[in-house]
Structure formats: C-alpha cells, structure tokens
Amino acid sequence: MSQDSHKCHCKSPTDRSAGPDVRDPPRSDGGVALCGACRDKKTCRLGLISERLDETGTAWFELRCPKDHEGGPNVAHGGWTASVLDECLGHVPLLQGVLSVTAELAVSFIKPVPIERPVEVRARIERREGSRIYISGEMVLLPGRAVLARGKGTWIARDRTHFAHFENWLAEQDSMSGANQVALTKARA
C-alpha cells in the first residue's frame, strides 16, 4: 500500500509511524484534531474543546485547563500553558491541510491561568519562508478577554514520511549504541 493511500487511524506504533493523514485526522466530538496519545481517548487531554479556522486564516480554540494540570493553587502549571500554545499554534497549518513540527517556541506568561475556566486561544500564520512557517497566538480569559499568555514560534512543514524517517534514525542510534556496547565489552575483556 502506498503511503498516500494509507488511512492512518492506526493503533500499533509501527502503523502510527506511517504518518498521520492531515486531510482526515482523528477528531474529538468537538472537532479537535487529536494527537497520538489522545486518539484512543477521543478527547484532548490538554482540555481543547473546539477549533475552527475563520475566513481570514485566524484559528480559534475553546478550552479549559483540566484540574489535573494544576500547578500553583487553582492555576495551571506553566507546562500546560506552553503545551497548549504548542498544540494550538501547530494546528493552524494543520487546519489548512499542512503537517508541521515545532522547531522553536517562545512563550510569555502574562497572568496565571485559572483552572476549569473558559479560555480562548487565537492564532495565525505570520509568514512563510521555504518550509518555515512563523506562527503567533495568544490565550485570553473569557468572557473579558484579558491576555493570559502569548506564544510565537517556527514550525517546519513536513510530509507524512517525517515519522518514518525518525524511526529509521532511531534504529541507527540504537544499532550504534549496540555496537559501542560490544566494543566496550571487548575492550574490558
């Protein structure tokens, strides 16, 4: 089967490495494209509820920080905020049918994010250069829209062989460490 004809709603790690189908990703009931670990649960563990792309190219996300991402009392762990911005900003190309991976991400934490309160992320592509996609976005508290955090970064457009190439690279690393281990054992003998 060619990679293009392969519909990837797969369960095994080997099948997953064939690459996600950006035209038909697994989605939550609210329509959020789900990453590897959320697929089987059919819900976004970060708390994304819905996503949409408007006619101007801006992507809008509704979410709440789940209780199990609490850091300080009643507020989100900073890692949650960074993860959400990574996820939402990376969904902007995805909503336009482009698979990309994060190369760089900068996060400004403006205010603590209260847990289990409605927040919104809005994000857009600022510009593209070659395979580089520059994306920015911000997270606001609803309903007043006070800014809680901002993110900006660089994503690299990839084709769906990205993950298969990585599996090959990892196997090379493993075989090199195996060879090093054998050499070390011989040297000690």
- What residues line the site for ligand DCC (CB under 6 A)? 20-22, 25, 33, 35, 90, 94, 101-104, 129-132, 154, 156
37, 20 in Cβ contact below 8 A? no
| Min separation Cβ 177 and ligand DCC, Å | 20
| Min separation Cβ 113 and ligand DCC, Å | 20
Give whichever of 77 and 160 is closer to ligand DCC, judged by the CB atom: 160
Give whichever of 34 and 75 is closer to ligand DCC, judged by the CB atom: 34
Supply φ then ψ for residue 188, to 5 degrees: -80, -25
Token reading at 164: 């298969």
Say whether 117 sits in a helix, a strand or coil. Answer: coil
Give whichever of 22 and 125 is closer to ligand DCC, judged by the CB atom: 22
Q: What's the CA gap between 155 and 104, in Å, rounded?
A: 7
- The residue number with the shortest CB distance to ligand DCC is 130
- In sequence order, which residues have a C-beta less than 8 Å from that of residue 181 and are 6 or more positions away? none
Give whichever of 122 and 132 is closer to ligand DCC, judged by the CB atom: 132
